[in-house]
Amino acid sequence: MFTLAHLSDPHLPMPRARIVDLLGKRATGYANWWRSRVELHRPEALAGLVADIAAVKPDHIALTGDLVNVSLPEEFERAAAWLATLGPPERVTLVPGNHDVYVATRWGQGLGRWGAYIASDGAPPAAGFEAFPTLRRRGPVALVGLNSGVPKPPFVATGTLGDAQIAAAEKMLVELGREGLCRVVLIHHPPLTTEKRFKRLTDAAAFQAMIRRVGCEIVLHGHNHRSEVARIAGPPGSRTEAVPVVGVTSASAAPESKYGRARYHLIGIEAQGGGWRLSVQLRALRPDGTGCEPDGRIVFESGVAHAQAA
């Protein structure tokens, strides 16, 4: 069995900033952090979760964005150092979130610091947004990374993929399906048409239309800071006719926060009868913060879900 740990939205602690660094949208986000969000995201919660991942030793780690808060250069530097503690680039696959592109930032001062964690197999560290979609093969699993993060106006947290990225992902998923790999799509924003207007993926309908044509085995996302499950339609009559869309709780959520305890998902992937069996174990931070404990399990067999006890 191949094991994949999925975490998202760590929202690492915000450094203090100068007024000159907070012109434009950053000012509102910075104020919001120190007013309320600083109590929602706790570094000790994230540390306990990361320690549990290290103890479990999954085959690979998927991180679906929002490492930083308002895209300050120092935030990217700190996040690069934190990524190194999570694992080396060959063991961790990263896609950005909307907070990672909170404002337009030079690639080298921003996401470029994480380029080795973004890049496709055999490619140098990602040097721009043209790197997406990315592809990493790990055992029977193909990780397809999409970027939904695009700088947006104040008070808007939407994401957008764009026609070119969706078209490239479609071609990639077709080829991977022919190879018989388990196709795991990583994206920050949930690709659902039912999300709130100012937080949604603006081209979710186009993404779903693409998945309905070519399918995939599962979509993993963050953004909502909650563990949640939805479905989107895959190719009619295929083993991926109902594609699971699974979101995960913020990896740094304080136990008393509105999101509940910090969580990550440990996903077991194995071939079964010409399809795939995916067992998603929710692992939640223990009350004392020392690692995590099972908090439920959902098993998908070729897209069909079966809830199980922890």
Query: Per the omega criterion (within 30 degrees of 0), is the bond before 133 cis?
Result: yes
More confident residue, 131 or 309: 131
How do beta strands 60-63 and 2-7 pair? parallel
Q: Is the dihedral of CA 54, 55, 60, 65 positive or negative?
A: negative
Q: pLDDT tens digit string along 151-186?
A: 999 889 999 999 999 999 999 999 999 999 999 999
pLDDT of residue 241: 87
Confidence class for position 24, pLDDT limits 50, 70, 90: confident
Q: How far apart are CA 52 and CA 61, in angstroms?
A: 12
* Torsions phi, psi for 182 (to 5 deg): -80, 115
Q: How far apart are CA 77 and CA 266, in angstroms?
A: 28
DSSP string computed for 29-67: HHHHIIIIIHHHB-HHHHHHHHHHHHHH--SEEEE-S--
Instruction: Give the CA angle between residues 49, 113, 106 to the nearest 5°.
Output: 130
Q: How far apart are CA 185 and CA 301, in angstroms?
A: 17
Instruction: Read off the pLDDT of each residue in 210-237 and give the average, rounded to a whole number.
Output: 96
pLDDT of residue 205: 98
Could you give the percent of the chain with pLDDT greater than 90?
A: 86
3-class secondary structure, 245: strand
Task: Name, in order, each residue with C-beta under 8 angstroms of 81's C-beta and a sequence gap of 6 or more.
Answer: none
pLDDT of residue 170: 98
DSSP 209: H
The label of the residue with tokens 């994949």 reads: 4
Closest CA to 126 of 134, 169, 179: 134
Tokens of 54: 């290290």
Is the pLDDT at 309 greater than 60? The verdict is no
Is the pLDDT at 310 greater than 80? The verdict is no
Hey, what CATH topology would domain 6-262 get? Purple Acid Phosphatase; chain A, domain 2 (3.60.21)
Q: pLDDT tens digit string along 31-56?
A: 998 998 999 999 999 999 999 999 99
pLDDT of residue 282: 98
Domain borders along the chain are 6-262
Measured between its terminal Cα atoms, the distance across the chain in Å is 19
Instruction: Read off the pLDDT of each residue in 10-28 and give the average, rounded to a whole number.
Output: 89
Instruction: Read off the pLDDT of each residue in 204-230 and give the average, rounded to a whole number.
Output: 97
Q: Cα 30 vs. chain centroid, distance in angstroms?
A: 23
How many Cβ atoms from other residues are within 10 Å of residue 37's Cβ?
Answer: 14
Q: Are 57 and 26 in contact (CB under 8 A)?
A: no
Length of the chain counted residue by residue: 310
Q: pLDDT tens digit string along 187-211?
A: 999 999 999 899 999 999 999 999 9
Confidence class for position 99, pLDDT limits 50, 70, 90: very high
pTM over 0.85: yes
Is the pLDDT at 238 greater than 90? The verdict is no
3-class secondary structure, 165: helix
Average pLDDT value over all residues in the chain: 94
Is the pLDDT at 71 greater than 90? The verdict is yes
Closest CA to 246 of 76, 82, 97, 64: 64
Instruction: Read off the pLDDT of each residue in 238-259 and give the average, rounded to a whole number.
Output: 93
pLDDT of residue 180: 95
Confidence class for position 306, pLDDT limits 50, 70, 90: low
Task: Name, in order, each residue with C-beta under 8 angstroms of 171's C-beta and a sequence gap of 6 or more.
Answer: none
* Torsions phi, psi for 191 (to 5 deg): -85, 55
Is the pLDDT at 302 greater than 80? The verdict is no
pLDDT of residue 19: 83
Q: pLDDT tens digit string along 273-286?
A: 889 999 999 999 99
How many Cβ atoms from other residues are within 10 Å of residue 15's Cβ?
Answer: 14
Task: Name, in order, each residue with C-beta under 8 angstroms of 164's C-beta and a sequence gap of 6 or more.
Answer: none
* Torsions phi, psi for 2 (to 5 deg): -90, 135
pLDDT of residue 94: 98
Q: Cα 62 vs. chain centroid, distance in angstroms?
A: 7
